[in-house]
Amino acid sequence: MRFIKRTLENLLKSSPADKYILVTGMGECGKSTCTLSVYEKYGIISLHNIKALTLLSNNPKEFFIKYSAPLIIDNMEEGLSILDHLEKRIPLIFISDSDAASIKSILLDNLTVYNLHGFSIYELANMGHMQKPYLPAEKLPGIISKKSLNYTYQLIWRGFSPEAAILDNNEQWDNVINGIVEKLIKNNIMGRINFGSKLIFLNFLKELILYMGRELNISELAEKLNMAPNTIKSWVSILENINFIYLLQPYSMDNNRRYIKTPKLYVEDTGIAAWLLSLDTPEKLEQSDMNGKFFENFVVMEIVKSYHHNGKECRLYHYRDNLKVKIDLLIEDDNYLYPVIISSTQNPVKEMAEPFQKALIHKQKGYGNIICLVDKTKKLDNDVSAVSIWEI
């Protein structure tokens, strides 16, 4: 398996020496590998090691004698109690699949937080160091060479976890994704969710993923699964906490009833989503009635990566109001909101951008993009261009 340099590595190298570091993200996204590639001289201990976790819980001082700094503590979510026993600043890096908010609330200004996701399209092209946070514009960088439609859907199908994204052949995919899902359930979900039968939980995940790119209707999902809405809400919250799903918050202005205020659901890894839906070849995904939603999920997560992998806050919203005006993304930057429509079309038209003029927003409207599968940038209006996903 070839080594792929991550965009985040440059930030880790220049991280402030007087602060602890937290690297967070979904399990199996490459956090330990990325961190160790920068901090090669650090020791590393996983709190999935029962003896290490027991020692940490019973005798924190003895723990730091046995595992001396500089140290990377992996699976930090298992040992949050350690944070109350940090008597002095020592070189520590925490890696966690979840509970980032808990760690931040305790360490406050003494912590630098980095969010890592699966590989980005820039990283897969060995150009991770060139990726910048995406903002719509008339002319985008276009650094990566345009890929074919078949390649695009194969990439979406494989997913972006390091283990699956660079497989030698597609025949290995089912076993690899199955292994990733098994690890996630064992390490991140069991103990947080009392789901009884694994089949019940996998069925829940399958039904949840059918909301990909849609507003998440908790009551409807609960009725489908014959489960209590509060249980569904709790399970969804846990999946968000462990970075398995991404909930895109709705745009609204306070006390204005015009806006629909339900988040849209996206999945951290499209390969896992395809596996759960039994789309066992790239062709089946491309031909399925969800191919557009998979493409939308792919684009949204690439934009999220472009911010998080550069250490930037990601202020994204979706827009829908009671006049049926819909915009897939609004990207907030300073005093502007930049509108984005996402479509798997290869033939974008000017009418697709009409919601940009109809939306009621409280900031200036920035340049708009239609992100799609067009061959090359196509200007649709004075302030709107259609662009390829490979140009962003």
Q: Are 47 and 76 in contact (CB under 8 A)?
A: yes
**Beta strands of the chain (E only): which ranges?**
20-24, 43-46, 71-74, 92-96, 111-115, 245-248, 264-267, 316-320, 326-333, 336-342, 364-365, 368-372, 378-381, 384-388
**Would the pLDDT of 255 be above 80?**
no
Sign of CA dihedral 361, 367, 144, 311: negative
Taking the C-alpha atoms of residue 77 and residue 94, their distance in angstroms, rounded to an integer, is: 9
Q: What is the pLDDT of residues 275-296, one digit of tens each?
A: 999 999 999 999 999 999 999 9
Q: What percentage of the chain reaches a pLDDT higher than 70?
A: 100
Domain 8-115 matching CATH 3.90.1150.10: the answer reads no
Give the mean pLDDT of 373-391: 97
Going by pLDDT thresholds of 50, 70 and 90, the confidence category of residue 218 is: very high
Residue with tokens 């908790």: 218
Contacts of 300 (CB under 8 A, 6+ apart): 213, 246, 248, 266, 316, 328, 329, 342
pLDDT of residue 108: 85
Q: Using a cut of 0.75, tell me whether the model's pTM lies above it.
A: yes
Give the mean pLDDT of 316-331: 97
The chain-wide mean pLDDT, for the chain, equals 95
Q: Count how many Cα atoms sit within 13 Å of the Cα of residue 389 in the half-sphere of its side chain.
A: 27
Sign of CA dihedral 194, 197, 200, 201: positive
Domain residue extents for the chain: 8-115, 121-391
Closest to 388 (Cα-Cα) out of 170, 147, 157: 147
**Would the pLDDT of 1 be above 70?**
no
Give the mean pLDDT of 247-251: 98
Give the mean pLDDT of 142-159: 96
Residue with tokens 């569904």: 232
- State the DSSP H helix or E strand holding residue 162, giving kind and residue range, or none if neither: helix 162-165
Q: Are 74 and 32 in contact (CB under 8 A)?
A: yes
Closest to 381 (Cα-Cα) out of 138, 141, 142: 138
